[in-house]
Structure 1
Amino acid sequence: MTIFVSTDWLAAELGKSDLVILDASLFLPGTPRDPRAEYEAGHIPGAAYMDLPTLADPDDPTPGQLPPDAMMTQRMQALGVNADSRIIVYDNSPTHSAARGWFMMRVYGLGASAAILDGGLPKWVAEGRPVESGLPAIAPGDAVARLDRTQVRTKADILANLDSGAAQLLDARGAGRFTGAEAEPRPGMASGHIPGSRNIPSSAFFAADNGMKQGDELRRLFAEADTDLDNPVITTCGSGVTAAIILAALESLGKTDVSLYDGSWSEWGFDPATPKATGPAA
């Protein structure tokens, strides 16, 4: 299975015993929408609610950090994920948060394969495909989550990279937040970006039908941000959600030396000791 699957593909696979569909909708802080309520009002038939906003380490002061293995295992088993499941993740959010859900499936080694529904629920609904409401009955699964930390970067890694320059940093936040012209959505957080990073707003990766751009269109985005696809990349954003979009886009182009800074600006921007830059990328 590729990183992205089409609505046609999913429609043909609905009801297969090894297929697990997860709604990974999440919204930025302050957005007046409730992802759980929207899921219960209408979702792809058989889909389970991943509850991505709460699937985070409760003991980490930085919001949205990857949860402990035991928590991830319990949640995934409750959602019916088995070791041999084919997992399809989608969202109904302007943040395109399904990429974060997909990244979590992969980084915890869950299921036999995982993919993102290209276009998500908006495209599914626009095509007149079926939805259902309420909560489906789910048979518990047997998946066991084990976090592969080699795919995740820490603040210490980023500080070291500032000196070494070994990897390129790509920030998925909007241009106003990257430059510091717009305030961050979390009170008390500094504005700006990690020195040396480049900016490709996550919204730039998507076409009018909500699907991700492909091939030369993607390569053009990276070229415009002076990204050398022959060198490693670390992706970052506000809290590790839209950073996964850049990671998925790069991997769809065959680039595998990509990792994600999970703390992202939520950690970096709150720490008064970390260096910060404002204005356009230098």
Structure 2
Amino acid sequence: MTNLVAPSPPDDPKTLVSTDWLAAHLKDPDLRVVDASWYLPDAGRNARAEYDAAHIPGARFFDIDDISDQRSNLPHMAPPTEKFMSRLRAMGIGDGHQVVVYDGAGLFSAARVWWLFRLMGKMDVAVLDGGLPKWRAEGRETEDMPPIVKDRHMTVSRQNHLVKDVTQVAHAAKLAQAEILDARAAPRFRGDVPEPRPGLRSGHIPGSKNIPFATLLDADGTMKPADQLMQVFAAAAVDLSKPAITSCGSGVTAAIISLALERVGHRNHGLYDGSWAEWGMYEDLAVAKG
């Protein structure tokens, strides 16, 4: 398996850290905590309002829909590097910072922002395992005050291999060059139910394999250990010797698969940013069902 290196340690500041790790490092001068909560419209939750009411001390709010490419008609596509830099500087996040990203669902949208940081060349970033629900269940401190922010210089070096466009994905699907891994729930992947976004066809990219993101998580919203993640990939007949492309509905939960790949030591993967919001829209792209 030429793509695999050693799995990440349990607490790894480049992938995933525990609530114990964050509590121990919360007052480190170069640590920055980011609340990346984002919910589907039918969840009935307001991420910004929840952040304003209670967040991990010092956390900044990262608005996934705002810090995106507003020129695209697709939802929350990766922002231009200049926009990412300016928004993060305004949040007081920059060079030399260790970033920890969490969300209010446990482990849902935080992985998307972890991936965005990596896309911009910022590798010292980890997801908080279990997120705010685990933090609060353990009785840890929250606050409702916004942090005092000081501007910090940020340099960005975009890692283009970490993002894939529709042409690259179609090429990979046609030639079976990569494992295309879809994080949507099985009924959506099979095409048994309508897509939640109007106007999209049902089904999946031909040749892709279904890894519903929930199968990568334990019941408490934490990510499964590396050996169990390997079992999930094996059960879906994923060939980890191949490059991987992760996908989902709109590029959010695809990043959970990307994080899991990184945890098991698979380094050759990119995320299809348009995901099914793009593929399902174009009639000239083939769709598989079942």
Tell me the TM-score range normalised by the shorter chain: over 0.9
Tell me, yes or no, if the aligned pair for 2:130 and 2:223 is still in contact at 8 Å.
Answer: yes
Tell me, yes or no, if the aligned pair for 1:27 and 1:94 is still in contact at 8 Å.
Answer: no
- 2:230 aligned with 1:219, yes or no? yes
Tell me, yes or no, if the aligned pair for 2:51 and 2:144 is still in contact at 8 Å.
Answer: yes
1:153-180 per-residue CA deviation (whole Å, 9 max, x = no partner) reads 1100011112211101100001111111
- 2:217 aligned with 1:206, yes or no? yes
- 2:17 aligned with 1:10, yes or no? no
Aligned to 1:61: 73
Secondary structure of 1:116's counterpart equals strand
From 179, 187, 190, the counterpart of 1:176: 187
From 101, 107, 111, the counterpart of 2:113: 101
Higher relative contact order (CA 8 A, sep 6+): 2
Aligned to 1:84: 96
TM-score for both structures, normalised by structure 2:
0.93
CA distance in 2: counterparts of 1:47 and 1:225, whole angstroms: 37
Tell me, yes or no, if the aligned pair for 2:81 and 2:158 is still in contact at 8 Å.
Answer: yes
CA distance in 2: counterparts of 1:53 and 1:59, whole angstroms: 12
Output aligned runs, 1:39-188, within 5 Å.
39-93=51-105, 96-110=108-122, 113-188=124-199
In structure 2, what residue type is equivalent to 1:247? S
1:90-133 per-residue CA deviation (whole Å, 9 max, x = no partner) reads 001266111001001111013x6111111100100000000001
In structure 2, what residue type is equivalent to 1:227? V
CA distance in 2: counterparts of 1:158 and 1:11, whole angstroms: 40
**CA RMSD in angstroms, aligned pairs only:** 1.3
Deviation, 1:146, is: 3.5
Secondary structure of 1:234's counterpart equals strand
Identity of aligned residues (%): 45
Gaps of 5+ in 1: none
Tell me, yes or no, if the aligned pair for 2:106 and 2:130 is still in contact at 8 Å.
Answer: no
Secondary structure of 1:52's counterpart equals coil
- 2:270 aligned with 1:259, yes or no? yes
Aligned to 2:4: none
In structure 2, what residue type is equivalent to 1:57? D
Gaps of 5+ in 2: 1-12
CA distance in 2: counterparts of 1:2 and 1:87, whole angstroms: 9
